[in-house]
Structure 1
Amino acid sequence: MLTPATIERVVAGALEEDAPWGDATSEALIPVDASARAELVAREPGVFSGGEVFAAAFRITDPRTSVELIVADGEPFAAGDVLAVVSGPARSVLTAERVGLNFAQRMSGIATITARYVAEVAHTGARIADTRKTTPGLRAFERHAVRSGGGRNHRNSLSDAVMAKDNHLAVLTQGGLSVTDALRAAIDALPHTTHVEVEVDRLDQIEAVLAARIGTIMLDNFSLDDLRAGVAQVGGRAQVEASGGVSLETVRAIAETGVDIISVGALTHSARALDLGLDIRVDARGA
């Protein structure tokens, strides 16, 4: 999803937002012929993401600016590590600094927390996935960061798959059809390549949903005992996704119930921006 065109569009918009009429401070204080070298330095350990986005902030601001990425997306780093080096006209480096940092800090924060969730479920067979609970306009960036941390992406948008939740089922069955018949009628009208997932919140709903031959069943806010019972009841007839009540403290126990996927909204909606800094050295005039 994180294509060059998407990076260009979003980063250019962020730069326009941050300096709509130029950078008044840099233009007033920094000599036009000054150059600068800056290092992107980690103030705390984490997992890096957003290198190309960081670089784009400087390139779009001024094509004369170069960015050398020292650490690749998905690589862990320690406090004090240099993650990238920026060189170019000092005014341009200073103008792009905040936007570049904002993206790198946000994306690295998401990658770092995702990596912690992935580590918690190691050797269980469960996959950690994100949700659509992303910052509007930044979904491609945030979901790329989830992958940098070793997580998986759920459906990208409402257009990508059929995912029936309780409200959908309430409307679907209001004409008197059973859940099974209503789902079957809908599935029969879909292309054979369209994946169908259905959410349930009680064990007694599982059989009616599975009878419609869906691909994934989501067990929403189930207790651990009910998750184990649900996995046994499904018996391999569909993928089983667990959702709701997932935290770093609970995710291991959820994974050990035998579910295939654990979706975690907190990967994107609650991730803390990582503490990264740009340490700048301004060279002499005429450099």
Structure 2
Amino acid sequence: MSTVTSRPRPANGRKRAIARRSGLYALLIGLAAIFTSPFLWLVITSLKTERSLGAFPVEWLPRPFAWENYSTALDYMPFLGYTQNSLVIALIQSTLMTLSSAYVGFGFARLRGRGKNLMFGIVMATLMLPHVATLIPSYLIFAKIGLVNTLWPWVMWGLAGSAFLIFMFRQFFAGLPLELEEAAIIDGCGYFRIFFRIFLPQAKPMLATSMILSFSWAWSDFLSPLLLLSSDRTTLAVALATGYQTSQGAPINNLIAAGSTMYVLPVIVVFVFLQRFYQSGSATSGLK
């Protein structure tokens, strides 16, 4: 008479997997807390009164919450006007920079010609050139042709593209199937039409990434508006540095924190709106 023995369950292996997963979750939660702690401290500071800011020992949580700091920050200076200036500049530069970088990246990826690799190397070499090093020469050029205190510098920077974004688009377009291009050429399409009708719709994840990055660069830029724009046409980044001061020139820290909290909201909104385009579609979905 034979007996059937049951195989022992791998209880130890399951316990180890649960322990590893729990440790990974704990690590991620800890890193998230570290990365978000500066923003949380900014929000807490924005809800404190001037008296609680100078209290000793330090009050970690405001008592009571001074929600009126946000309305005061909006009224203390023309906050919405500076926000509009920043939005116009950021949208112009990010849109033009995304389209121009995508078009140049498409040319480097799909077109053939003598000296293409040399030109691409020169474009990549500009990544080593910091923006601050070109700011004073750019100001002198814009001043000589009468473009100071206008939006044209940001239009020109947008049309010039970004070396990093050009590299990103070039790598993406180079990975698309050759059949897409060949089928379009057989149908009589030129490269301009191929780019806008076939390749650009495939690049939604790259377009979203480029818009987020270029919008953040233009939105957070401080030196360029400081040099090129007058005080009434400047951006919110410049206004926050000097807008919340007493008559004696002392900074009003709780209003600075409230204004800075509202300052980062547009970037968060842009990221939340565009992140759904991160999911890459299949590049061969248009082939039949």
Quick one: higher RCO (CA 8 Å, sep 6+), 1 or 2? 2
Higher helix share: 2
TM-score (norm 2): 0.26
Higher strand share: 1
Name the larger-Rg structure.
2
